[in-house]
Structure 1
Amino acid sequence: MTPRPAESPLRQAVWSALGTVLDPELDEPITELDFVESWTVSPAGEVTVGLRLPTFFCAPNFSFLMVADAYDAVTAVPGVTRAEVTLADHHASDEINGGVAAHAGFVKSFEGSINGEAAAELDELRHTFLAKAALAGQDRVARPLVDAGRSPDELAGLTLGELAGTEADTEELTRMRTRRRTIGLPAGDDAPLLIHSDGTAVTVEQVPLHLRRARLQRVGIETNGEYCKGLLKIRYETGRTAATAGR
């Protein structure tokens, strides 16, 4: 992870804000993925953030979303007077950085693109990946219960409030509730643990197949995350090592 200089309350607040920004596909904070290459906070509250990604050709829509979300998160911090968030080493850096700085939105930023990347704004994309994360979260939360011997009958009848004090009462439960709440799915104490993408409860008969789908979704997200972390390490750490060795 990118080393952080000595902290001040404002620096801590800015870093915490960046920690709320997710890679939409990997469902992990950009701070934990080491996508924050640099960041500074001046005494006057002026913030600059430099982001980086695993490859030169990461999807422009995902990339734009992270830069825009980072800008929004940082500018919402009390005490920040100005913010500049930029993405380096990406084939669409100019369009993304210019669009975020101008508050132009994704479509406007890529207007006239020869590759036609900008088909629509990104709300639907964000919703799609949060829904996938919410499904994967059901596996993370239910897995300890399955391992403890809970039956499909029990799992189908459990509500989120009934998970307090059980094997499933972990940070993953809070995380899943947050993802659900963000996209309008049931997340209160009376909400079923296992639900479909439309918010309806999973029946007893559907539990085995539903859990298999949730597990596949989780494994896919986590595998992709490890792959991207490996690419980032190769791209930057290997490059720095080679440059140092050549001096």
Structure 2
Amino acid sequence: MTAAVSLKGEVWRALGTVLDPELDQPVTELEFVAEVRVDGADVDVDLRLPTYFCAPNFAFLMVADAHDAVSELDATARVRVRLLDHFAAEEINAGVAAGDGFDAAFPGLATGELAELRTTFLRKAHLAYQEQLAQQLLRDGVAPEELVARRLAEVPAGAALERLRRRRDQLGLPSGPDALLLIDERGDAVDVEELPVRLRFARTTRVSIEGNAGWCRGLLGTRYGRSAG
């Protein structure tokens, strides 16, 4: 295996950690990565989005996260991440390349950096994974009174549990085996009386995320002439 091929694989793996902030799925799975080129220790990554008018703050966040993820690789010397076919691509690409934040790239548009936006969508993803795991336990016969007292160590292992733990780590919420499955955004326990309303809201959030992901794949396939999925 050549060094270039090895580095290219590392770049793709790094890009697999970059999430669409709203869909909570890797940009690689969503097929937002158009191309990766490696020349020695120099790396170029081209990103594309489903529509020309995707929100610039979402787009900036993905480009900046992709740049940071690839730049952390020891084998890279120069990293350039470009957004293609987007109405604000020039501003986004220049801002990320210069290391400027969203405020600097779009003066007068932003009311703050992107940390708040990221936190909002991490909370939505956390809520969705809680609902997914809770519904699984309810189908298995766990009573609501037991569910609100269930610890993560007592939850079946799987992708949803791992994603839940990662989102909690990012949000600074308890994620160890003794942590409760159902907590609010502050980390407090959920009362059994509020459980039905909370699960209905969480299900709406999960369905919205999943529906938007499918919609984006369809748009991307239509735009670039590739099958979605």
Work out the CA distance in 1 between the residues paired with 2:111 and 2:81. Answer: 24
Residue among 104, 107, 112 paired with 1:108: 104
Question: 1:117: how far off?
Answer: 2.9
Aligned twin of 1:20: 17
Question: 1:174: how far off?
Answer: 0.6
Residue among 64, 68, 77 paired with 2:60: 64
User: Normalized against structure 2, the TM-score is what?
Assistant: 0.94
Work out the CA distance in 2 between the residues paired with 1:95 and 1:120. Answer: 17
Aligned twin of 1:243: none
Residue 229 of structure 1 pairs with residue 217 of structure 2 = yes
Superposed structure 1 runs of 4+ greater than 3 Å apart: none
The one-letter amino acid paired with 1:175 is: R
Residue 129 of structure 1 pairs with residue 121 of structure 2 = yes
Work out the CA distance in 2 between the residues paired with 1:98 and 1:70. Answer: 14
Question: 1:200: how far off?
Answer: 0.5
Residue 198 of structure 1 pairs with residue 190 of structure 2 = no
Work out the CA distance in 2 between the residues paired with 1:88 and 1:220. Answer: 26
Contact 2:122/2:167, CA 8 A, preserved across alignment? yes
Aligned twin of 1:54: 50
Aligned twin of 1:31: 28
Contact 2:8/2:36, CA 8 A, preserved across alignment? no
What secondary structure does 2:192 align onto? coil
Aligned twin of 1:10: 7
Question: 1:149: how far off?
Answer: 1.3
Comparing 49-58 with 178-187, greater Cα deviation is found at 178-187
Give the length in aligned residue pairs: 224
The one-character-per-residue Cα deviations of 1:23-77 (angstroms, maximum 9, x if unpaired) are 00000000000000011112x2110000000001000000000000000000001
User: Could you list the runs of 5+ residues in structure 2 that have no partner in the other structure?
Assistant: none
Residue among 132, 147, 162 paired with 2:154: 162
User: Could you list the runs of 5+ residues in structure 1 that have no partner in the other structure?
Assistant: 1-6, 239-247
Work out the CA distance in 1 between the residues paired with 2:169 and 2:224. Answer: 36
Residue 182 of structure 1 pairs with residue 178 of structure 2 = no
Work out the CA distance in 1 between the residues paired with 2:95 and 2:109. Answer: 14
Cα gap change, 1:89 to 1:14, in 2 (>3 Å): same
Contact 1:60/1:117, CA 8 A, preserved across alignment? no
Question: 1:205: how far off?
Answer: 1.6
Work out the CA distance in 2 between the residues paired with 1:188 and 1:206. Answer: 24
What secondary structure does 2:45 align onto? strand
Percent sequence identity is 53
Residue among 70, 92, 95 paired with 1:96: 92
Contact 2:130/2:182, CA 8 A, preserved across alignment? yes
Work out the CA distance in 1 between the residues paired with 2:109 and 2:52. Answer: 15
The one-letter amino acid paired with 1:122 is: L
What secondary structure does 1:205 align onto? helix
Contact 1:61/1:117, CA 8 A, preserved across alignment? no
Aligned twin of 1:79: 75
Work out the CA distance in 2 between the residues paired with 1:53 and 1:119. Answer: 24
